[in-house]
Amino acid sequence: MSGAFLAGVIAGYGIAVPVGAIGALIVTLSARESLRVGAAAGLGAATADGIYALLAVAGGAAIAGIIAPVATPLRWIGAIALLVFAGFTAVGALRRRRTRPAERDRPTGVLRAYLGILGLTLLNPATVVYFAALVLGRGGAGGGLWFVVGAFLASASWQLLIAGGGSLVGRLLTGTRGRLVTALTSSAVIAALAVEMII
């Protein structure tokens, strides 16, 4: 049990720690909205990692083989979704700057943040391939449930850490100009990461 759990923790951190477009989105949501919204987004990413870990334990190579032919279209869909999100973030930031506080956009809700990041993270089929390779490399799915729990908890702890960092940045940059700069910077980073996904 403890060996499978520890393997899951290591695998979960291995997939979550490299900050990509999803990490940038979580930081942005925490900075722009609140820690609650950022944490919900982070848990959405962790849930997707947990789902993929579960699929890897349950089906391993078979599931990786099914996903491989559609990996490229899914990557394109994910990249397009991220580019659209980056565009909306930039346009929204510019609009908010020109409006009075009472007229500004309604904040993103917790459920919307959770489901949005869950959906975007699920568009990364490389995650299930990664987990499947680890499970098969360990000689099968012995202690599979503990592997999944470890992967989920590791991913969740990392996502909550970066959500907390985003919330801190949001508090430091609460002025109109600071929020505009962070939103535009975030949009640029997310767009660049989206382009990197398809290159």
- Cα dihedral 114/195/14/22 (nearest 10): -20
What is the pLDDT, as a whole number, of residue 1? 60
pTM, entire model: 0.70
What is the pLDDT, as a whole number, of residue 42? 95
Q: Which conformational region is residue 18 in: left (phi greater than 0), alpha (psi within -120 to 50 degrees), or beta? A: beta
Task: Name the token pair of 34.
Answer: 């609140």
State the chain's mean pLDDT as an integer. 78
pLDDT digits over 2-39, tens only? Answer: 788 888 888 888 878 776 778 888 988 888 888 999 99
- Tell me which residue has tokens 């993270």: 121
The contacts of residue 72 (CB under 8 Å, 6+ apart) are: none
pLDDT digits over 57-68, tens only? Answer: 887 656 666 766
Listed residue (197, 192, 188, 198) closest to 89, CA to CA: 188
pLDDT at 134 over 80: no
| Average pLDDT rounded to a whole number, residues 175-188 | 73
pLDDT at 102 over 50: no
